[in-house]
A = this chain, B = another copy of it.
Amino acid sequence: MILDAKRGDIGNTNNGYVEMAFDFLGVDAITVHPYLGAEALEPFLARSENGIFVLCRTSNPGAGEFQNMQVETDWAPDGSMPLYHYVATKVAKDWNKNGNCGLVVGATYPHELKTVRATVGVMPILIPGIGAQGGDLEATIKAGQDSHGQGIIINSSRGIIFASKGADFAEAARRETLKLHNAITDILGSK
């Protein structure tokens, strides 16, 4: 179970979030904001048995306001790359010592998803934005899968939990889940 709580505080407070998420709620993984850096996120990163998905390129329409800013870095051949790409590079190069890091990249940005995948190898990518947010499933899978055709976790929230507001909400949610599952399987099978 992945807790998409988008946490990110100073280390002392993150200790509490780690306890809340992994010990009290017992989830397997959590999403976190990168803005405070690895030093603040160390309580999360140190939990080697849990997954830490770092927000990289979010699915919302205005995600580029900061995430697309060109940052100066020697890691780019021409001296700069977008912030989201720098975050992906940093997490893959420096933060993943315990092999428990992943990234969040929205299905609404298949081009950026492809860039991130090319940067991070087989690191897992959590992909929101399918369903209510309008991301294209086939483009997402093609851009996001790793060299083994794996490594993506596709999330649909509102498309499933709000499939019906009537008494049949449970059946409707099941139907939408199976529909998405089958669509993913079809696309993976048709490579």
Give A residues with C-beta under 8 Å from B: 6-12, 33-40, 55, 58-67, 69-73, 80, 83, 86-87, 90, 132-133, 158
Contact = CB atoms under 8 A, between A and B. Distances in A.
Given A8-B6, A60-B10, A83 B66 contact: yes
- Cβ-closest 7 pairs across A and B: A39-B62, A37-B65, A37-B62, A70-B72, A69-B71, A10-B60, A40-B60
Contact of A33 (B8, B38, B69): B8
A44 to B, nearest CB: 13
A10, A11, A67, A86: which has the most chain B beta carbons within 10 Å? A10
11 contacts: A6-B9, A10-B60, A33-B33, A36-B62, A37-B67, A39-B65, A40-B63, A65-B90, A66-B90, A71-B71, A71-B72
A8 B6 CA distance: 7
Given A33-B33, A58-B35, A72 B64 contact: no
Nearest to A36: B58
A181 B10 CA distance: 24
A87 B83 CA distance: 13
